Amino acid sequence: MFVDHSSINRWAMRFLPLLEKIFRQHKRPVGRSWRMDETYIKVKGAWKYLYRAVDKEGKTVDFLLTAKRDKAAAMRFFAQALRDNDVPEKVTIDKSGANKAAIDQIIDDKKIPIAVRQVKYLNNIVEQDHRVVKRITKPMLGFQSFRSAKNVLADIELMHTIRKNQLNLKGSDALSFAEQFYALAGKIRSA
């Protein structure tokens, strides 16, 4: 049997957002000390920004692909991360003024006590975690559309978080990574 690569692409664009949505419902809680940073991803020849955060043990907190690297993008990322996770005690960021302004505004608006640290070398955990995404996306030579980049990066992050044992399904600890993925994919039918 022969399956064309364009069919695989259409399936990926259709089902990857569903897998991400279901995974977010079954994700284990993360720690209360986050490291946040952004990295660059090439989309249609232009650099776009992948915001990512991990906790101090390296567990993925959240990710978001944006077209710009500014305060509004950082605020969207932090708002999404706070919506899907518990409020952290500390957030470590690099020296980016946009990230600092965004987290400060969220703290002021929501009246939540979060200690913000701007220490470059405490972010090494998230910098090292970027390597996995970069290692997979580099041979792809960039993406042809923002939508495909968003969906494929969500799947890369999904697989990476499954490898970090962050899937919280009954009996998932006894399953291999592939079996955990298939168990998660089986939830699409019931969603």
CA dihedral 127, 100, 42, 180 (to 10 degrees): 60
Specify whether the CB–CB gap between 73 and 66 falls below 8 A. Answer: yes
**Which has more pLDDT, 142 or 45?**
45
Q: Which of 52, 6, 9, 44 is nearest to 141 (CA)?
A: 44
Q: Does domain 15-190 have CATH number 3.30.420.10?
A: yes
Q: Which of 77, 79, 68 is nearest to 36 (CA)?
A: 77
Residue 190 has pLDDT above 70, yes or no: no
Q: What's the pLDDT at 191? A: 56
Percentage of the chain lying above the pLDDT 70 cut: 98
Specify whether the CB–CB gap between 129 and 60 falls below 8 A. Answer: yes
Mean pLDDT of 92-110: 90
Q: What is the pLDDT of residues 137-185, one digit of tens each?
A: 888 777 889 998 998 898 889 888 988 989 888 887 888 888 888 888 8
CA dihedral 145, 147, 151, 157 (to 10 degrees): 80
Residue 64 has pLDDT above 80, yes or no: yes
Q: How many CB atoms lie within 10 A of CB 77?
A: 25
Supply the pTM of this predicted model: 0.86
Residue 106 has pLDDT above 60, yes or no: yes
Mean pLDDT of 91-105: 90
Specify whether the CB–CB gap between 59 and 35 falls below 8 A. Answer: no
- Across the chain, what does the average pLDDT equal? 87
Alpha helices, DSSP H, located in 26-92: 71-84
Structure tokens at 171: 């009996």
In three-state secondary structure terms, 46 is strand
